[in-house]
Chains A and B, each alone.
Chain A
Amino acid sequence: MSVKLTEEMLKAFPDARGHFGDFGGRFVSETLMDSLMTLEKEYLRLKDDPDFQAAFDKDLADYVGRPSPLYLAERLTRETGGAQIWLKREDLNHTGAHKVNNTIGQALLASFLGKKRIIAETGAGQHGVATATVCARLGLECHIFMGSSDVKRQSLNVFRMKLLGATVHAVESGTKTLKDAMNDAMRDWVANVDDTFYIIGTVAGPHPYPLLVRDFQSVIGRETRQQCLDKTGKLPDALVACVGGGSNAIGMFYPFLADENVELYGVEAGGLGIETGQHAAPLCAGRPGVLHGNRTYLMEDENGQIAGTHSVSAGLDYPGVGPEHSWLKDIGRANYVSVTDDEALAAFRTLTRVEGIMPALETAHAVAYGLKLAAQMDKDQNIVINISGRGDKDIHTVAELDGIEI
């Protein structure tokens, strides 16, 4: 590990302009600047407001069902034959993924700011469902932007969002996936900036989004840290989480950044293999650039055009990544690796069969790498894999790959 971070140092990231070292920032058209600056000011005020925090904590406890369990996967540990494998069960949250931690927080912000209309982008549909859910509960108008190719492969979630009262806009431009959904959400926001709050689903986008999404998701790591101390009497040796935009990973990692003996592993979508170019792994195989309001590692061609991505999991199918991950990569605090579609699918089956836990295909990437890593570790070591979401939404994809019609 190259840099020892202290609690004190961490307070300087992001800086006042939203920069994490060379990454982050606020690269948007002028129309949005005022809204972003207002959001930043209000968030920094509310962050330390006891009423706001109490409302957030109460919703996490009573509506989401937190804390989520930290589960020792004994059979999986035996079969793997290495470190003790612990699963942080974000899949047990209301709506079935970690996404709701953030949508609760941002919807609360929206209501403190008096905004009545909510927009969001979604890839796999988990963030869309989590957003539609909080909007239903708060009686807010909800518009979800989703690439038309994702609308097809995640039809169950599309129907869930509609049942929850959201309008789902199928985005036909560009590659028809998550990045294009984000483009259209930003276009809608520019046109309706006065009455609309944009609930971004990941730790990317213009400042202050990477900051506030990280803060809302950090409940994952804070709980994990305490649960590890309670159950094992020490901190874990390694944490593993999948990285698309990177919100579940940063939520898990952030409270451990100053714990230099805790190794951090972010697992990107290797798709058909990094060497094929058909993947969604900007940290492993991209370079820094600017997209969607922040500077970060991107998948792009030599002319700076954003490259198409491939992953079996819609939620990881994104050419960028949160700027804080780019920073953690460059300073050497976190390790970023990838696993292929096939490895993730195999891990999906393993976890389902061995533990009776069916993970989302996004999560299956973390499981695949976590199992490889655990096998190389000692029996007295502990590894935590973040089970960021449940897999029900993916059974059609898995069945189709098996040639089964449901």
Chain B
Amino acid sequence: MSRIEGVLKSLKEQGRKALIPYITAGDPHPDQTVELMHTLVAAGADIIELGVPFSDPMADGPVIQLACERALKHNTSLRQVIGMVAEFRKVDADTPVVLMGYLNPMEAMGYREFADAAAEAGIDGVLTVDLPPEEADQVAPLFAERHLDPIFLLAPTTTDDRIRAIAEHSSGYVYYVSIKGVTGSASIDVDDVARKVAHIHELTALPVGVGFGIRDAKTAAAVGKVSDGVIVGSVLVNTIAENQTDPAALNQALTDLLHPMREALDNQVN
């Protein structure tokens, strides 16, 4: 059983929902990322999605685009990001880490070399925004051999046939993009998400995480009620931007944001 599968199974047994924060590696500075990851875990994260900065993040809104620009100002590379996870693993052997990014940095590094290094560093899953399963035939066997969970997106526009096919290619969980739009853009429609996630659950046994549009404890709780986990990104990244010059304040601000989400998620279910 993969680390991701284990964590999600144990949460399910406890009747709890996964809290999955996203931050961009290297933002505001590569030296701070590992510490921020530990902060997220201390504040209640079950799984961490660690963004790999890319110069042209087409599926992201301005908040994450700017995070990428801050990280790239320090030349944060995919190799370095993998190194950060290895560093994180020295202290935390339990919290799954999913790399989230775009295909080109992985292609530039070489798929085999990437897969080897990622597995070696203790990375658990890989979500490549611009790699639909149709184009994943080169990476899929490399990931499978190394027990890296390929995480794919489902969107409001995804047809039933595709939901089934994508789930076939996925392990760990599937990530339901709650809105038509880029990260951090529109407000979430919880009723609509509830219907869609229930429908996805009819088509696959995999846990469903929901992201895009979760801003606070209230939306986290509402979405948590109808899914297996919530993914929180832009609001955290925005907090990083606001506190980029003060590391201590930043750790506190992230905790202040994430901790109430954790409590709301746990209380919602009880």
Contacts and interface: CB of A to CB of B under 8 A. Distances in A.
Tell me whether chain A's interface is mostly helix, strand or loop, or mixed. mixed
A111 to B, nearest CB: 21
A298 B55 CA distance: 13
A28 interface: yes
A283 to B, nearest CB: 17
B182 interface: yes
B156 interface: yes
A300 B104 contact: yes
Contact of A289 (B108, B182, B185): B108
A302 interface: yes
A173 B135 contact: no
Contact of B134 (A17, A174, A292): A17
B157 A173 contact: no
Interface in B120-175: 129-132, 134-135, 152-159, 162, 166
A28 B132 contact: yes
A291 B162 contact: no
B135 A303 contact: no
A295 B139 CA distance: 15
Interface stretch (B34-42, B59-67, B91-99, B245-253): B59-67
A30 B108 contact: no
A146 to B, nearest CB: 16
A28 B152 CA distance: 12
Given A29-B58, A31-B180, A174-B56, A306 B104 contact: yes
Interface in A3-59: 17, 25-35
Contacts of B102: 290
A193 B186 CA distance: 14
Contacts of B185: 191
Contact of B180 (A183, A194, A288, A295): A194
A47 B168 CA distance: 33
A174 B180 CA distance: 23
Contact of B130 (A192, A293, A306): A293
B8 interface: no
Contacts of B154: 30
B186 A191 contact: yes
A173 B58 contact: no
A191 to B, nearest CB: 4
Contacts of B158: 30, 33-34
Nearest to B103: A290
B129 to A, nearest CB: 5
A28 B130 contact: yes
A35 B106 CA distance: 26
Nearest to B101: A304
Interface residues of A, number: 38
B245 to A, nearest CB: 22
Given A17-B134, A33-B162, A187 B182 contact: yes
Contact of B58 (A25, A186, A305): A186
Contacts of A72: none
A289 B182 CA distance: 23
A31 B156 contact: yes
Interface in A299-332: 300, 302-306
Contacts of A108: none
A289 B132 contact: no
Interface in B45-97: 54-59, 61-62, 65, 69, 72, 75, 77-79
19 contacts: A17-B135, A26-B132, A26-B134, A31-B59, A31-B157, A35-B157, A174-B65, A174-B69, A186-B58, A186-B59, A187-B58, A190-B180, A288-B107, A291-B104, A293-B130, A300-B104, A303-B105, A304-B108, A304-B109
Interface of A: 17, 25-35, 173-174, 179-180, 183, 186-187, 190-194, 288-293, 295, 298, 300, 302-306
Interface of B: 54-59, 61-62, 65, 69, 72, 75, 77-79, 102-109, 129-132, 134-135, 152-159, 162, 166, 177, 180-182, 185-186
8 closest residue pairs by CB, A with B: A304-B108, A304-B105, A31-B155, A191-B181, A30-B153, A29-B59, A303-B77, A305-B55
